[in-house]
Structure 1
Amino acid sequence: MLLNLIRFFRVIRIKKLLVHKQLFLWAAIVWAGIIAFFCLIQLNNVPLGNVSNIDKYVHAFFHFVLTSFCYLFLKKQISSSNSLKPLVFSFLFSFFFGIVIEISQELFTLSRHADIYDVSANTSGAVLAVAIAVLFKK
C-alpha cells in the first residue's frame, strides 16, 4: 500500500515537471509568433507617442522575453547546474530569429524593410536577458 502511494506521488511530480517544461516551450513558441506577427504586418498608422526610436525598445523587449522563455525551457531540459548551454542556445536562437525576421521584412513585405539597428536592438534585448540570468544564477 505504501509503495503504491509513493509511486503515485512520484508520477504526479514527474507530470508536474513535464507540464512546466512544456509551458516554457509553448510560451517561447507563442512569443516567437507574436514577434513575427508584429514585425511583418504593416504598422504605418499606429500612434507610437513622442519617444524617439521607440521601435528599438520594442525590439529589445521582444527579444529579452524570447531569450528568457527559451532559457527557462532549456534550463529545465539540461540538468547540469553549471552548464552554459541553455544561455548560449537561448541567445543564439533569439539572435538568428531576429535576423530571419529582418530578412523576411525585406523580402516578403512592401511596407517594412530590414534594419541593422533593429538587429542591434534585438541583440541588446537578448544580451540583457542572458546577463540577468547569469546574475540570478549566482
Structure 2
Amino acid sequence: MRKLNLSLALIWSLLIGIACLITFNADVGGKLPYKDKFVHFVFYFLFTILWFRTIDEIVPRQALLKKLRNVFLLGFVYGAGIEICQGLFTKTRSADIFDVLANSVGGLTAVLLLYYYRNRKRNG
C-alpha cells in the first residue's frame, strides 16, 4: 500500500505541475466566476490528502499535528513554487497570489477534515 500511496501522490503532484505550467486553448467550464480558484482548491485539497496518506505510512509514529503541518507546508511550498515558475518561465501564464491563497485554503480544508476524522476515529 505504501508504494501505491506514494505513486498516487507523485502522479497527482506531477499532474498539478503540468496543468499549471502549460497553456490550454479550450475554455473548460464556460464563464463560471472564480472557476480557476476552485480548481486550485481541489488540486491542493487532494494533494494534501494524498501526501498525508503517504507520510502517515512512512512515519506512523510521528505526531498527527506534526504530519498535518508538514504536509500543509509541502503543499504551500509546491504551490508557491509553481506560481513563481509561471511568472518566470511561461509567456501565457502569470503568477497569482490568489492562486496561492486558493491552494492554501484547499490544503487547510483537507488538514481540518483529516484532523477531525482521525480524532473521531480515535475517540469512538
TM-score normalised according to structure 2 size: 0.90
SS at match of 1:42: coil
- Pair 1:57-2:28 in alignment: no
Worse-superposed segment, 120-129 or 45-54: 45-54
Q: How many residues align?
A: 119
Offset, 1:41:
0.6
Tell me the percent identity: 35
Aligned-pair CA distance for 1:53:
0.7
Supply the AA of the counterpart residue of 1:23. Answer: L
CA RMSD between the two structures:
1.3
Q: Which residue is 2:108 aligned to?
A: 127
Show structure 2 runs of 5+ residues with no match: 120-124
The counterpart of 1:92, out of the listed 73, 80, 105, is 73
Where do 4+ consecutive residues of structure 1 move more than 4 Å?
A: none
Aligned to 2:16, which of 30, 35, 38?
Answer: 35
Specify the structure having the higher radius of gyration (Cα): 1
Instruction: Please list the CA deviations of residues 63-121 of structure 1 after superposition, one character each: whole Å capped at 9, or x if unmatched.
Output: 01111011001111222274322211110100000000000101111000000000000
**CA displacement 1:1-20 (0-9 Å, x = unmatched):** xxxxxxxxxxxxxxxxxxx1
Deviation digits for residues 38-81 of structure 1, max 9, x if unmatched? 10011243232231010000001000111101100111122227
* Aligned-partner SS, 2:37: helix
- Which segments of 5 or more consecutive residues in structure 1 lack a partner in the other structure? 1-19
> 1: CA distance between counterparts of 2:3 and 2:61?
19
